[in-house]
Amino acid sequence: KLDVVTIGESMALFTPDMPGKMRYAGNFSRKFAGAETNVAIGLNRLGFKAGWISKVGADELGEGLLSFVRGEGVDVSQVKRHDKAPTGIYFKELRHDQDVRVYYYRAGSAASTLIPNDINEDYIAKAKYLHITGITPALSTSCYETIIHAIHLAKKHHVKVIFDPNIRMKLWNEEQKAKEVLLEIAAKSDVVLPGMSEAKFLYGENGSSEYARAFLENGAKIVILKEGSKGAHYFTKSESGFVPSYKVDRVVDPIGAGDGFAAGVIAGLLEGLPLEKVLARANAIGALVTMVNGDVEGLPELDEIDRFMQVDKE
Ligand code: KDG
């Protein structure tokens, strides 16, 4: 049984053990993360089975990454090892809770060598959703081609495509190219999950309903517009609404919250919940992720979500 397939790069993640400027950091914690595996792990915590397509280096960090993701219940049977290109690395600098920075050391990484031929058609055909982020097509031309090919296979087998633009400007050489590619993928997707600033990047300054209309006209069936800690809007051709988020007293690490939210959305859609409920739970997951250091360490199980949503009501 496979509910969701996702494709992308995960990396070894190093975080200084103390807040502040990373230039002074002598001790680091090593974790593993990447938007796509964050979502896959989030889905596993919610009781769904996800599979990850990627490449890692034939190196120690690659082996560590593979056993970590496998240990979190994600199917890694489609992850290949590259004998020359290394596993990517990234650093997360938590200067203080309002200033979190990310530094990539991933150019020429194993995952950036993904090619369309790495995609196994039967594997995609088995899933109910294909999860795509805007990170993967930014990694290389062959990664872009791989994503377009995977979406083509998903459509051929009636697998729904869910797209989170996850705009990482450091990975794109040209703004115009980023816009073109992200809109091309959004047009082929059933569900899109842009943040308000991403919608602004793609369509210029406007309001949430104008953004929604633009994404719906571009081809999406469901548009979920995220307003971070405030909450999220949903729009389809026939319904729309806003679902407020939950209060978080102290944000420890905001990175990964969007991926937790995406996992919540996919899980809710798989369960056939109404969009109002889908977003309430996705908001709760996003909030819970920000309370813990690490992209995936705070991803909740269902009972934790229920407890958190209950406490907020009291
Ligand atoms: O959404 C969190 C990701 O940004 C983080 O895990 C690192 O995958 C990553 C990326 O490419 O930025």
ipTM of the complex: 0.97
Catalytic machinery residues: 259
Predicted pLDDT at 1 = 82
Ligand 1 atom index nearest CA of 295: 6
Nearest CA to ligand 1 atom 6: 34
Rounded Cα distance between 95 and 166, Å, is: 22
Ligand 1 atom index nearest CA of 8: 8
Rounded Cα distance between 302 and 294, Å, is: 19
**Parallel, antiparallel, or unpaired for β 231-235 and 129-133?**
unpaired
Ligand 1 center from residue 8 Cα (angstroms): 10
Ligand 1 atom index nearest CA of 10: 8
Q: How many CB atoms lie within 10 A of CB 190?
A: 18
Ligand 1 atom index nearest CA of 135: 11
Predicted pLDDT at 97 = 81
Ligand 1 center from residue 258 Cα (angstroms): 10
| pLDDT average per 10 residues of sequence, the chain (314 residues) | 96 97 98 98 98 98 98 98 98 92 98 98 98 98 98 98 97 97 98 98 97 97 96 97 95 96 98 98 97 97 95 74
C-alpha torsion 33→80→114→226, nearest 10: -30
239-265 per-residue burial string, b: 16 or more CB within 10 A, e: under 16: eeeebebbebeeebbbbbbbbbbbbbb
- Report the candidate in 105, 108, 157 with the shortest Cα–Cα distance to residue 130: 157
Ligand 1 center from residue 256 Cα (angstroms): 7
Predicted pLDDT at 98 = 85
Beta strands across the sheet bearing 28-33? 28-33, 11-16, 89-96, 99-105
Residue 119 contacts residue 53 (beta carbons within 8 Å)? yes
Instruction: Find the residues whose C-beta lies inside 6 A of ligand 1.
Output: 33-35, 38, 90, 135, 166, 168, 255-256, 258-259, 295
Ligand 1 center from residue 54 Cα (angstroms): 14
Nearest CA to ligand 1 atom 9: 34
Nearest CA to ligand 1 atom 3: 35
Give the domains, in start order, of the chain with CATH numbers.
4-313 (3.40.1190.20)
3-class secondary structure for 1-59?
CCCEEEECCCEEEEEECCCCCHHHCCCEEEEEECHHHHHHHHHHHCCCCEEEEEEEECC
Strands in 34-181 per DSSP E: 50-57, 79-82, 89-96, 99-105, 129-133, 160-164
Ligand 1 center from residue 164 Cα (angstroms): 12
Rounded Cα distance between 270 and 273, Å, is: 8
Strands in 134-188 per DSSP E: 160-164
Question: In the block, which residue shows the tokens 């009636």?
Answer: 158
